[in-house]
Amino acid sequence: MSDPTPPLTRPAYPSFWEAFIYWLKLGFISFGGPAGQIAVMHQELVEKRRWISEHRFLHALNYCMLLPGPEAQQLCIYIGWLLHRTWGGIVAGTLFVLPSLFILAGLTYIYLVYGDVTWVQGIFNGIKPAVVAIVVFAAWRIGSRALRNNVLWSFAAVSFLAIFALKVPFPYIVLAAGIFGFIGGKIAPDKFKVGSGHGAADKIYGPALLDDDTPSPEHTKFKPLRLILLIVAFVAIWAAVLFSLQSPVLKDMGEFFTKAALVTFGGAYAVLPYVYQGGVESYGWLTGTQMIDGLALGETTPGPLIMVVAFVGFIGAWTKAIFGPDMLFVAGFAGAMVATFFTFLPSYLFILAGAPLIEATHGDLKFTAPLTGITAAVVGVVLNLALFFGWHVLWPQATKAAPFSGSFEWFYAGISVVAFIALWKFKQDIMKVIGACAAIGLIYTYLI
User: What does the alpha-carbon distance between residue 23 and residue 13 come to, in Å, rounded to a whole number?
Assistant: 16
Own/partner pairs, 320-324, CB within 8 angstroms, 24+ separation: 320/249, 320/285, 322/247, 322/249, 322/250, 323/247
* Most trustworthy range by pLDDT among 183-187, 334-338, 382-386: 334-338
Predicted confidence band at 286 (pLDDT cuts at 50, 70, 90)?
A: very high
Residue 270 has pLDDT above 70, yes or no: no
For the stretch 134-143, pLDDT in tens is 778 878 877 8
Mean pLDDT of 222-226: 91
Flag whether pLDDT at 199 surpasses 50.
Answer: no
Say yes or no to pLDDT of 54 above 60: yes
Give the Cα separation of 181 and 188 in Å (integer).
Answer: 10
d(C-alpha 143, C-alpha 133), whole Å: 15
Asked which of 110-119, 177-186, 334-343, 420-429 is least confident by mean pLDDT, the reply is 110-119
pLDDT number for residue 98: 94
The pLDDT value recorded for residue 377 is: 85
For 41, half-sphere exposure in the C-beta direction (CA atoms, 13 angstrom radius) is 34
Is residue 195's pLDDT more than 50?
no
What single-letter amino acid sits at 274? Y
**67-71, 233-237, 325-329: segment of lowest average pLDDT:** 67-71
Q: Say what the pLDDT of residue 115 is.
A: 63
Widest Cα–Cα separation across the chain = 68
The Cα 150–Cα 405 span in angstroms is: 37
Provide the pLDDT confidence category of residue 434 given band limits of 50, 70 and 90. Answer: confident
Task: Return the bridge partners of 147, or none.
Answer: none
What mean pLDDT do residues 158-163 have? 91
In this prediction, residue 198 has a pLDDT band, given cuts at 50, 70 and 90, of very low
327/434: higher pLDDT: 327
Rounded to the nearest integer, the mean pLDDT of the chain is 85
What pLDDT, on a 0 to 100 scale, did the predictor assign at position 422?
95
Please report the DSSP string for 391-414 in residue order.
HHHH-TT--SSSTT-S---HHHHH
pLDDT at residue 241 greater than cutoff 90: yes
Three-class SS state of 49: coil
Q: What is the mean pLDDT of residues 220-243?
A: 94
- Separation of alpha carbons 347 and 363, rounded Å: 25
Q: Is the model more confident about 238 or about 428?
A: 238
How much is the pLDDT for 150? 93
Is residue 34 over pLDDT 80?
A: no
pLDDT of 110 above 50: yes
Average pLDDT for residues 265-283, to the nearest whole number? 73
The pLDDT value given to residue 277: 80
Q: Return the higher-pLDDT residue of 288 and 185.
A: 185
Which residues, 6+ apart, have CB-to-CB distance to 352 below 8 Å? Answer: 77, 81, 86, 89, 230
Q: Is the pLDDT of residue 201 over 50?
A: no
Q: Do 108 and 297 form a contact (C-beta atoms < 8 A)?
A: yes
| Angle between helix 430-447 and helix 118-146 axes, rounded to 10 deg | 140
- For residues 203 and 313, which has the higher predicted lDDT (pLDDT)? 313
pLDDT of 17 > 60? The answer is yes
- Determine what percent of the chain is predicted with pLDDT higher than 70: 90
For Cα atoms 163, 347, 252, give the angle at the middle one, nearest 5 degrees.
95
> Each residue of 387-421: pLDDT tens digit?
877 887 889 888 778 888 888 999 999 999 999 99
pLDDT at 200: 44
Give the pLDDT mean for 219-225.
90
Cα angle 78, 80, 84; round to 5: 125
- CA torsion angle 221 223 227 233 (round to 10): -90
Residue 273: pLDDT band (50, 70, 90) is low
- d(CA 234, CA 375) in angstroms, rounded, equals 30
Supply the DSSP symbol for 303: S
Of the candidates 381, 355, 310, which has an alpha carbon nearest to the alpha carbon of residue 67? 355
Taken in order 201, 204, 207, 208, the sign of the CA dihedral is negative
User: What average pLDDT does range 336-344 have in this prediction?
Assistant: 96
Residues contacting residue 387 through CB under 8 Å, at least 6 positions apart: 164
Least confident of 29-38, 71-80, 82-91, 170-179: 29-38
Q: Write down the pLDDT at residue 69.
A: 80
pLDDT computed for residue 21 by the predictor: 95
Say yes or no to pLDDT of 188 above 70: yes
Residue type, 329: F
Residue, of 375 and 44, whose pLDDT is higher: 44
